[in-house]
Every structure is written in C-alpha cells, then in structure tokens.
Amino acid sequence: MVLYWGKGMKENEKLIRKFLTDRMHITVEDCERLLTTYGYELHKKGGSHRTFHKKGDTPINVVTPKNTKYVKPGYVDKIIRKLNLEE
C-alpha cells in the first residue's frame, strides 16, 4: 500500500485517528481528504454520490448525507476496511 504523505503527515495521522475513534462525526470532506491521501481520485460527483477510483482497485462510493454534514457510519466502516486502517 502506497501512502502519499508529504507536508501534512501529522494531519493525515489525526484524520486516520478520527476515522477510527469518532465514526459518527466524519464529513464528506474528511472522506475525500483521506481517500486522496491513499491515491484515490474523485471521478464522479453527481447528485448525492461521490465515486472515488484508484487504478487496479474497485471504486468507493460515498453518499452525501441529507440534513446533516456527517456521513453515515456504514460508509465510514467501508472506507476503514478498504484502506486497512484497523489497528
């Protein structure tokens, strides 16, 4: 697995910790930041869905929540499993 760290390495560590400890308060922007850190690119942004692609891997969909700024925990869990973030 290749991580695209860079200047914001501490910020990425904080974001990963947030995904693992505070799954109820993850925003769509948090998902996008984390997925782009792992080499995914946003290819489709239509309606309430955002689709992230990475060459050689299956796409990851994130649904923009209605009436709240937080993503449903099921999508967060999917991202955690896909990126092998569990400790």
CATH 3.30.920 given to domain 9-82: yes
Flag whether pLDDT at 2 surpasses 50: no
Stretch 25-43: mean pLDDT: 93
pLDDT band at residue 62 under the 50/70/90 scheme: very high
Helix axes 73-82, 28-37, angle to 10 degrees: 10
pTM of the predicted structure, to 2 decimals: 0.83
d(CA 41, CA 73): 21
DSSP code of residue 25: G
> In whole numbers, what is the pLDDT of the chain averaged over residues?
86
Domains of the chain, by residue range, sit at: 9-82
Stretch 36-48: mean pLDDT: 86
Flag whether pLDDT at 87 surpasses 60: yes
